[in-house]
Amino acid sequence: MLDSWLARSRAEAGLSVSPLAWSENREWGLREGRLQHHTGRYFSVCGVAVHGPAPDAPVRFMPMIEQPEIGQLAFLVWPGPDGPQWLLQAKAEPGSTGHVQIGPTVQATLSNYGRVHGGEPTAYLDQVLDREDGCVTRLLQSEQGSRFMGKFNMNVVRLVPERIEPARPEWVWADARALRQALAGSFVVNTDARSVIASTDWSLLCADDQPFAPRGDRWDGLRSELSLSLHRGARSTRPVLDALQARRGGQGFRLVTCPLDALPGWRCADQAITAIDDGADFEVCSVAVSAPRRECPAWHQPLLRSTRLQACRLFLTRRDDVMCAFLAYSDEPGFGTACELGPSWQSDRLNPEWVTAWAGSDGVTVWASIDQSDEGGRFLDSVMRYEICELDAADVEADALAGQGGHWVSLAQLQALCATGGVLTNEARSLVSLLLSLA
C-alpha cells in the first residue's frame, strides 16, 4: 500500500530542481559576508574557521549552515484496536533522492510554519505545537555537526484519541508493519522521520507491543538475540553519559565566522562556491525549485551538494552472551556539545585503526543495508549508505572491549540513549531506525 502511495505522490508532486547562477537568484545573495535570504529568515551559509579541539590541530576553513530556528518534526499516532497507526506525509524536498520521501506528519522550520514564504498554513501544526496531551516524545535532537552550527530540531510523537481524516492525498495512515517495511527501503523514509522514530517508544512500531518478536523469517535468530538484549541487557546509561560528559568537558572546537567570499581555500563563482583543491566533499550551489503541491509553489535557494558517497556502520557483537552495539565518539565542530555518540564506523570521520579494520574485514555479516539521502531541504546528492553488521566476538580488539573510542551498549541502553536529547548523532539515529525495521 505504501509503495503505490509513495509512487503516486512522486508522480503527482511535479517537483523540479534546476541549477541557477547566483546572479540570477532573486531571493538569496551575499550580504555581510554570508549567503542570506532577502528577509534574513530561514538560514544562512557563512564561512567558518574551525579551531581545535587539540591546541596544535590545523585550522580548517569551510562553509557551514547557521540556522538558529528550531524545526518541528512530529508524528501523530493513533493507538487503534489493531495496533498503532502512524500519520505519514509524502514530503517533497528539492534535495531528496526521488524528490518525495516519507516524512513526519509535520516537518517544518519556524520560518515555514510562520509563513515567511507567504504560502499556505502548515497542516496539522495545531495538533503538535505546544500540545502536551498525549505527548509520548518531545526532545531536541541534533542535525549533522559537520555541516550545521548548533542546529537542533524538536522531535515529537503525540498519541491522538481518534483517527483524523487526512488533510490531503499527501498524508496517509499506515500501520506499524507497513512502517517497519518502509524503514528497510532505500530512499523511502527521510532522515527527519527516522530521527523521530528512533527517539520514541519502540513498542509503537509493533502491534503486539513486543519489539523484535519472532515473525517467521530469516531474521528471527537475530531478533531473538536483540529481544534478549532489550529486555535482559544492562539498562543504566549513567556510565555512558558520565563518560560522554567528561569527554565534552575537555577542550572543544572553537568556531570563528569569516566572510564567505574571502574564505581561505574556497572560490565564490557564479555557478557554485567550491573548494580550490579536492579536499572538500561538498560545494554550495544555487537552485530554482518548482513544487506545485508545497505550501509555496516555487522558490530559489542554496543547497550543499555532495561530491561523493559516504557510508556508516553499526557493529553488533555478543558480550557476556548479550548482543551489544558499539557507539563511537563523534567529534564534530557544529555540535554545541562538541561530541555525541555516533555510528561504530563512518567514512567521513576519523576512526580508530581497529574500527577501520572491522569495516574492511571479510568476516563481517551484513544484516541490513540501505542508501539514504540526507535532509533534502538543505542538501543535494548527499547520500549515505547505512549498514547493520555483526562481528564475531573473537575479532573485537581489546581496545574496543575496554571502551576506548566509544561504548558497547545493550539494546536497552541504546533505546534509553535514543530517548535522551543531544546524545546520538543524526547518522546514529538513522542506523537505529534501520535496526528497528527488524522489530
Whether residue 54 lies inside any domain: the answer is no
Q: Which residues pair with 384 in a beta bridge?
A: 310, 372
Whether residue 340 lies inside any domain: the answer is yes
Q: List the CATH number of the domain containing 418.
A: 3.90.79.40
* Full domain range(s) for residue 427: 231-252+309-436
Q: How many domains does the chain have?
A: 1
Whether residue 48 lies inside any domain: the answer is no
Whether residue 320 lies inside any domain: the answer is yes
* C-beta separation of 397 from 386 below 8 A: no
Whether residue 387 lies inside any domain: the answer is yes
Whether residue 95 lies inside any domain: the answer is no
Whether residue 338 lies inside any domain: the answer is yes
Whether residue 131 lies inside any domain: the answer is no
Quote the CA–CA distance of 41 and 112 in Å, as a whole number.
Answer: 10
Q: How many CB atoms lie within 10 A of CB 43?
A: 22
Quote the CA–CA distance of 245 and 203 in Å, as a whole number.
Answer: 29
Q: Angle, to 10 degrees, between the axis of helix 2-13 and the axis of helix 176-183?
A: 60
For residue 261, CA distances in Å to 28, 34, 61, 108 come to 14, 8, 12, 30
Quote the CA–CA distance of 263 and 278 in Å, as a whole number.
Answer: 15
Tens-digit pLDDT profile for the chain (439 aa)? Answer: 899 999 999 999 999 999 999 999 999 999 999 999 999 888 999 999 999 877 788 899 999 999 988 999 999 999 999 999 999 999 999 999 999 999 999 999 887 766 666 567 889 999 998 889 999 999 999 999 999 999 999 999 999 999 999 989 999 999 999 999 999 999 999 999 999 999 999 999 998 878 999 989 999 999 999 999 999 999 999 999 999 999 998 767 889 999 999 999 999 999 999 999 877 899 999 999 999 988 889 999 999 999 999 999 999 999 989 999 999 999 999 997 789 999 999 999 989 899 998 888 877 999 999 999 999 999 999 999 999 999 988 778 777 777 789 999 999 999 999 999 999 999 999 999 999 999 9
Q: pTM to 2 decimals?
A: 0.96
